[in-house]
Amino acid sequence: MRLARPLENLIDQLQKLPSIGPKTAQRLALYILKAPVEQAGQLARAIIEVQERVFPCSICGNLTDVEPCTICSNPGRAVSSLCIVEEASDIISIERTGYNGKYFVLNRSFRLMEDSDLTDMNLQPLIKTLKNGEVQEVILALNPNIDGEVMSRYLASIVSQHDVKVTRLAHGLPIGGDIEFADEITLRRALEGRKEL
């Protein structure tokens, strides 16, 4: 039996999302079909709005709908420390530790087996921030796996050219894990016990 074309189309689109297999896509599509029309409309608008209105902050790369983002424009945050993370979602985890400095988001993860070149990363906004001379310490908070390690070494070599102390999160984070999913206590300890690189 062939499904109605719009339904088939919705299932196809949902299946493109991460962690959504054919069965889940079908279940979600049927749920959306039966949902009140306002709810389906809100979902459709939310998807369009996130694409149209959310962009990386030009200073730190955090995902924002205002320029600069609320962290960069907050005068209460310490400018002397800059925490480098892979993804904007990592900021949420670091924020839970009580960290009150600024951030730089790479918005890209590095895969040693797939990528060979780190030099194509846009680090100009980071270098511009370092040249201001206000940052005294850069904390590398990349994922504790081999890819994060390679990226950390590369970033440390760039940051250290600007006469800035470079530290990294202490071990205690599960190797091969993901900062985003680290629990608050482990992450706070890792932040407090950071080591100079």
Task: Give the residues lining the site for Zn ion (CB under 5 A).
Answer: 57, 59-60, 62, 68-69, 72
> Minimum CB separation from Zn ion for residue 179, in Å?
18
Which amino acid, one-letter code, is at 65?
Answer: D
Report in angstroms how near the CB of residue 64 gets to Zn ion at its nearest.
6
Contacts of 52 (CB under 8 A, 6+ apart): none
CB-side neighbour CA atoms (13 Å) of 79: 11
* Minimum separation from the CB atom of position 68 to Zn ion (A): 5
Pick between residue 9 and residue 73 the one whose CB is nearest to Zn ion. Answer: 73
Inter-residue contact 102 to 114 (CB < 8 Å): no
Q: Which is nearer to Zn ion, 70 or 157 (CB)?
A: 70
Q: Between residues 62 and 143, which has the closer beta carbon with respect to Zn ion? A: 62
Backbone angles phi, psi at 120, to 5 degrees: -85, 0
